[in-house]
Structure 1
Amino acid sequence: MRPALRYAVSIGVGLAVSIPVGELASGDWLITISLIPLYATTTSMGIAHRERWMQSNDDSPSRLGAAVGGVGALTGGALIRTSIPAATAGFGLLLLGMAAAIAMVDKRG
């Protein structure tokens, strides 16, 4: 995918996540605004390394997936009680960490 199109799609995803969260949340505007670059960066990295991302589903053991899913669910449950923007940011950071790891593995391989 061309970089300009990838960046446009990424910004669109960032806005598509941030706008509904801003509508649902009654505060935390700084966190809500920070969702735009968080999800835009994550989407851009995911698009850039999409082939490796799809291959990674077959490579990782199920125990690792269960551990990440369990920690993500526990943390997400605690964050959603705090605020919707905080929970959305936590999920975005989880995805960003996964995208960064995939990008590092893809560059080495």
Structure 2
Amino acid sequence: MLANKVTKIVYKDGNNKVFRIDTYDVQKKVWCSDVYKNGIIVDKRCEDKINNSYKHYQKSQNKDDLLLMDEKVLDKQNNVVDKQYIYKADGELKTISSKTNFY
């Protein structure tokens, strides 16, 4: 039964260290790709097929968590809403710029 199936692909370098893990949740229809550096996740990208969205996160230099850098969402008219998140040097959110690409 595939209802609760999560597929995981682990990528390792020549020294057998993980540098990327891709996961796909069949039930939620979400694909994520996590990039690691020295065992710490530094970049995460997720595509949600049910909600028609894409999100990109990066590790903050001053915090341990991942910050949302940009996201794309399809609106009800199938236009792409593209948001960019800009942070201050201390990792606090400074501004959000948004544009809509009409199709």
- TM-score, normalised on structure 1? 0.25
Greater strand fraction, Structure 1 or Structure 2:
2
> Which structure has the higher relative contact order (CA within 8 Å, separation 6+)?
1
Greater helix fraction, Structure 1 or Structure 2:
1
